[in-house]
Amino acid sequence: MDCLFCSIASKDIPSQLIYEDELVMAFRDINPQAPVHFLVVPKLHIHSLDQVNEAHDGLIAHIMRLIPSLASEQGIVNGYRVVNNCGSDGGQTVGHIHFHVLGGREMLWPPG
């Protein structure tokens, strides 16, 4: 297995875990871009948003419904940004789908 986030999901590589259930895990980004920056990652290996299909509908909905409660638990009070970087132009550097949640400061738009 040669995937960083699969290795984190299997606990072969440690992370600062903030949440885990049978489908997903959430852990702090190692290079935070905001006072609060964590990643929500399915345990199932899916390369990117381009590989998501209808079999994943429940999983994606689960992730989206989880994010507000995790944001609140992490102390975010004035809103937050959810980011999925897809593919090289999208800025994806880890080939296992993940959703960034950033908060604790005002976000810029456009993101650049």
With CB under 5 to 8 Å by kind, the binding choice for 85 among ligand AMP, Zn ion, none is ligand AMP
Which of 37, 96, 98, 100 is the catalytic position? 98
What one-character-per-residue DSSP string does 68-84 give? Answer: HHHHHHTT--S-EEEE-
CB of 7 to ligand AMP, least distance (A): 9
- 52 is an interface residue for Zn ion by CB under 5 A: no
Number of residues that bind ligand AMP (CB under 6 A): 11
- The residue range among 24-32, 50-58, 65-73, 103-111 that interacts with ligand AMP, by the rule CB under 6 A, is 24-32
Q: Which residues of 16-45 are buried (b: 16+ CB within 10 A; e: fewer)?
A: eebeeeeebbbbebeeeebebbbbbbbbee
Tokens of 74: 């992490």
Q: Can you tell me the distance from the alpha carbon of 59 to that of 23, in angstroms, rounded to the nearest whole number?
A: 7
Active site residue 96: no
Contact positions toward ligand AMP, by CB under 6 A?
4, 15, 27, 29-31, 85, 91-94
